[in-house]
Amino acid sequence: MFENGTCLCGQVPFLFAAAVLLVYPHINQDDGVSNMQYAFDIGGSKIEFGVFSDDGDILLHSKTPTPKDNLDAFVAVISDVLGEVDHEFGVRPDIGISFAGGVDPKNGAVISANIPAIKGWSLASELSTILSRKVLVENDADCFALAEAMSGAAKDARTVFAIILGTGVGGGIVVDGKFIGGKSGVRGEWGHGNDVTGTLIRSGLAPVTCGCGQTGCLDAWGGARGLENIHAQISGNRITSFDITDAWRAGDVHAARSIEIYCELVARELALMVNVLDPDCVPVGGGIASEHVLIAQIDEVVRKRVLGRYDVPLVVPGVYASDGGLRGAAMLHLADSDRL
């Protein structure tokens, strides 16, 4: 059932006792476990939970399906998980939550979430009341940025603009270990509001309508699905993004052209963000981050386009590209102060 400390069952309640005794038999309250952090990464399909030591080691990791349309079921999943681990560890630490959406700074209500059950709900304050403990909530890209800034690819960097190249495009901003405040609660979304139609037309591609309702947003082209759409229009053959990059490395002409267009689309918009923010580091998360050669090519194009001088790689694969949201949620207490 457990592999390398990970619960594979996907059911609630979890058998945390077995995990603790089997994988970490030395853990007890006298070992400094009271300083550990609980974290959730809540997505549209699954809820991930992690217990992190004070040193950042993950002690337990579990996944369960997200009850997207039922608030009571959603709360029950969170509550059941915490009840199990509280009992096994004998402590009740605060909770950090990473999720795909924004939080209205005026009332804490969830906005732009892909989970209808919690849309408009004051997630942090309501859960804090229900669970009788402090709950901190942030966007998943911001949590990824925090993780990279604290101990990842951007460790010791002052200004960090972390980007997500996953299904779509996202971003998070951390300066001096703090998040940037704002009026709406939505920030770092460099994949929307831009217009890449000109580049598409010059490349022989047909524009599509973005999920936000606009036409020309990078979000429709800058993620893995976007790369697949580019290749499908170029070659007439729809294959996965990983197959495209494999073919590119093997010298396939259509794949090479697809990667060229993709890098141009992403690098043009990212260069603008670099000119605006002047970041010390741009860590990359999401599925595309695993393609290190592709990230290096994007970095090369970006550094040629920006006004500032960057003599070393700026756009780099994130250390926590696969679990940055969860890990960053466990670090929210470190950034829990007035925003810049």
SS3 assignment, position 269: helix
Distance, CA of 99 to CA of 193 (rounded, Å): 22
CA pair distance 187, 38, nearest whole angstrom = 25
At residue 29, the pLDDT reads: 44
Entry pTM? 0.88
| Model pLDDT, residue 212 | 87
pLDDT at 34: 55
How many of the other CB atoms lie within 10 Å of CB of 78?
Answer: 22
Provide the 10 A C-beta neighbour count for residue 129. 11
Q: How many CB atoms lie within 10 A of CB 11?
A: 12
Q: At residue 175, what is the residue type? A: V
Q: Which helix (H) or strand (E) holds 170?
A: strand 169-175
Quote the CA–CA distance of 246 and 240 in Å, as a whole number: 10
Both tokens assigned to 40: 């959730």
Sheet holding 178-179, edge to edge: 178-179, 169-175, 159-165, 282-285, 315-317
Which pLDDT score, from 0 to 100, does residue 239 have? 97
- Show the tokens assigned to 245: 């990059």
Measure Cα distances from 82 to 69, 235, 250 in Å. Answer: 21, 50, 48
Q: Which of 186, 173, 267 is nearest to 222 (CA)?
A: 267
Q: Which domains does the chain have, with CATH numbers?
A: 2-133 (3.30.420.40), 156-317 (3.30.420.40)
pLDDT of residue 19: 39
pLDDT at 2: 31
Please name the amino acid found at residue 332: L
Residue with tokens 């990983």: 242
The b/e string for 247-266 (b: 16+ C-beta within 10 A; e otherwise) is bbeeebebbbbbbbbbbbbb
Per-residue pLDDT of the chain (340 residues; tens, 9 = 90+): 333 444 434 444 444 333 343 344 434 444 444 578 999 999 989 999 999 998 889 999 999 999 999 999 999 999 999 999 999 888 899 999 999 888 999 999 998 778 999 999 999 999 999 999 999 999 999 999 999 999 999 999 999 999 999 989 999 999 999 998 788 888 899 999 999 999 999 999 999 999 889 999 999 999 999 999 999 999 999 999 999 999 999 999 999 999 999 999 999 999 999 999 999 999 999 999 999 999 999 999 999 999 999 999 999 999 999 999 999 999 999 887 556 6
Cβ proximity of 220 and 200 under 8 Å: no
Task: Note the pLDDT of residue 318.
Answer: 98
Total residue length of the chain: 340
In the block, which residue shows the tokens 């386009």? Answer: 305
- In DSSP notation, 17-51 reads HHHHHHH-TT--GGGTGGG-EEEEEE-SSEEEEEE
